Structure 1
Amino acid sequence: MKDVRVTHIGGPTTLIEVGGWRILTDPTFDPPGRRYSFGWGTSSRKQTGPALQPGEVGPVDVVLLSHDHHADNLDDRGRKLLAGVPVVITTAAGSRRVGGRGLRAWESTELTGADRPAIKVTATPCRHGPVLSEPIVGQVIGFALEWEGQEHGVLWITGDTVLYPAVREVPRRMTVDTVVLHLGAVRFPITGGLHYSLTADDAVELCELVRPRTIIPVHYEGWSHFSQGRAAVERAFAAAPDGLGERLHWLPLDQPAGA
């Protein structure tokens, strides 16, 4: 893709700049130290703060919010930011709570603006936990972005998900150039060995299916409920065939990089 810049702010929060658009994902700006409840006996402590504060990010045209009900994807300062953003795209259930455009998996909406390319935003499937967990963990979506002039495929933000058949459907439906990969292998003591986001091995399996040119890991650090960090991801991708690990791009926090 040409003229795309991605800045990793921390956790799942990135700023994507393309064609004059400034798109923020899953805004989390609270300071570290607080423990947040995720419901049903689960909780997590925030261990690191964002690399940038909202005032340092600059104007935001669109927020892509994978889900609104977990503080590691939308916290108190993130919620305040939403009030000043013209367009928020989130889950159908989330739109009833925070406003904006609500999408279910495979539904699309379009971003349009003067002197900017139209961007088609398609919601992609997520399951934020094991089989039958959605009534407990709630709705989550990812986002695929496409616009005129893309050379190699869409930009895909996976959202918080495990690897399951509906996610495997993404590379069957679209060609992905760059994937912003939510990782961390989330676990909670109350549910033992169950995972609520991609493990490093599952991320490798998914990327073997997707075959993106660029893989940008996010949401693997800064919270106590992550069971795998950067080292585990690097080991898994280093062992992957066909040089898949060479496609990993670890973005330094707050430094924009081309995708």
Structure 2
Amino acid sequence: MRVTRIGGPTALVEWEDWRILTDPTFDPPGRTYFFALGTSSRKTTGPAISLEEIGPLDVVLLSHHHHADNLDDAGRAGLSAARTVLTTVAGAKALTSDGAHPDARGLAAGDAVTLTAEGKRDLVVTATPCRHGAALTRPIVGSVVGFALSLGGAARPGLWVTGDTVMYGGLRRAATGLRPEVALVHIGAVKFPLTGPLSYTMDADDAVELIELAQPGVAIPIHVEGWSHFSQQEDAAAAVFDAAPGAVRERVRWAPLGVPVDLP
């Protein structure tokens, strides 16, 4: 498997012959985007690789469609490079109704879909639970999903993308014993001045707990730079991982932006 971290939540995964892109964000930096309840964030860095350089894709894994730090304008326009988009149920409805993609499929936690392509092993994608904030915030922040992927009916996922989520009971249960070969772990500790100490994604301490539960072969932190509402960015997160127990520390691997990383 080869993983190229592009920026924010966006990564290109090349796995056998499958080409997979997560949460496309390709707008240039400098713009301020508005979210729910008058919150906002400024994009501080652009993508390390352009959509044109990436080329055709088999599937986009879109954890949610309604926040620009997971799907911005250029990312939305670039969905056409993929044969299929997998996202939330609400996201699939929105993307098909506005013509963004003709094959956007909606998944709720626990749902699975099998993708097929000539000359490739079947790719099974199972949605995993996410909660994008404190309890009872879903009507405000909307639904989110993660994705566990396996090839050819393998019992152990080859890839797990956590999606934007805080640590909570549903995630702990899904992660325990999952043992993916590679996990892309969304962190960043998203916060807004308007909502004070409330977090909308995990911080590195949460990720340490998650890695202990899931026991991935390799954990790659993403969603940790490039936006002003990420309250814990890469250097601070790296310090937490460096101080983590050895069983966690040895699993964490930082992928430099724009540099393909080959994984066993």
Give the structure 1 partner of residue 216 of structure 2. 212
Q: Give 1:239-250 correspondences, 5 Å limit.
A: 239-250=243-254
Matching of residue 174 in structure 1 with residue 171 in structure 2: no
- 1:219-255, Cα deviation, whole Å (9 max, x unpaired): 1000000110122222222222234212211111121
Amino acid of the structure 1 residue aligned with 2:26: F
Relative to structure 1, is the Cα distance of residues 150 and 8 closer, same or farther in structure 2, using a 3 angstrom cutoff?
Answer: farther
Displacement of 1:85 after TM fit?
2.1
Give the structure 2 partner of residue 72 of structure 1. 69
TM-score normalized by the length of structure 2: 0.93
RMSD: 1.5
Matching of residue 39 in structure 1 with residue 36 in structure 2: yes
Give the stretch that moved more between structures: 159-168 or 13-22: 13-22
* CA distance in structure 2 between the partners assigned to 1:142 and 1:152 by the alignment: 16
* CA distance in structure 2 between the partners assigned to 1:195 and 1:114 by the alignment: 43
Q: Unpaired runs of 5+ in structure 1?
A: none
* CA distance in structure 1 between the partners assigned to 2:259 and 2:118 by the alignment: 28
Amino acid of the structure 2 residue aligned with 1:185: A
Give the stretch that moved more between structures: 97-106 or 170-179: 170-179
Q: Give 1:46-57 correspondences, 5 Å limit.
A: 46-57=43-54
Relative to structure 1, is the Cα distance of residues 160 and 119 closer, same or farther in structure 2, using a 3 angstrom cutoff?
Answer: same
Give the structure 1 partner of residue 88 of structure 2. 91
Give the structure 1 partner of residue 146 of structure 2. 142
Displacement of 1:18 after TM fit?
1.2
- 1:134-164, Cα deviation, whole Å (9 max, x unpaired): 1100010000000138696431000000000
Amino acid of the structure 2 residue aligned with 1:139: S
* CA distance in structure 2 between the partners assigned to 1:180 and 1:229 by the alignment: 16
Which of 137, 162, 185 does residue 166 from structure 2 map onto?
Answer: 162
Secondary structure at the counterpart of residue 49 of structure 2: coil
- 1:164-185, Cα deviation, whole Å (9 max, x unpaired): 0111112346332211000100
Give the structure 2 partner of residue 13 of structure 1. 10
* CA distance in structure 2 between the partners assigned to 1:251 and 1:159 by the alignment: 17
Cα contact 2:160–2:180 (8 A) shared by 1: yes
Matching of residue 59 in structure 1 with residue 56 in structure 2: yes
Q: Give 1:176-255 correspondences, 5 Å limit.
A: 176-255=180-259
TM-score normalized by the length of structure 1: 0.95
Q: Give 1:124-143 correspondences, 5 Å limit.
A: 124-143=128-147
* CA distance in structure 2 between the partners assigned to 1:7 and 1:80 by the alignment: 21
Amino acid of the structure 1 residue aligned with 2:243: A
* CA distance in structure 1 between the partners assigned to 2:172 and 2:7 by the alignment: 26
Matching of residue 81 in structure 1 with residue 78 in structure 2: yes
Q: Unpaired runs of 5+ in structure 2?
A: 97-103
Amino acid of the structure 2 residue aligned with 1:226: F
* CA distance in structure 1 between the partners assigned to 2:236 and 2:115 by the alignment: 37
Amino acid of the structure 2 residue aligned with 1:69: H
Amino acid of the structure 2 residue aligned with 1:36: Y
Amino acid of the structure 1 residue aligned with 2:230: F
Query: What is the aligned-residue identity percentage?
Result: 54
* CA distance in structure 2 between the partners assigned to 1:128 and 1:71 by the alignment: 14
Displacement of 1:58 after TM fit?
1.3
Cα contact 1:154–1:174 (8 A) shared by 2: no
Cα contact 2:178–2:214 (8 A) shared by 1: no
Relative to structure 1, is the Cα distance of residues 6 and 183 closer, same or farther in structure 2, using a 3 angstrom cutoff?
Answer: same
Count of equivalent residues? 256
Amino acid of the structure 1 residue aligned with 2:64: H
* CA distance in structure 2 between the partners assigned to 1:185 and 1:48 by the alignment: 18
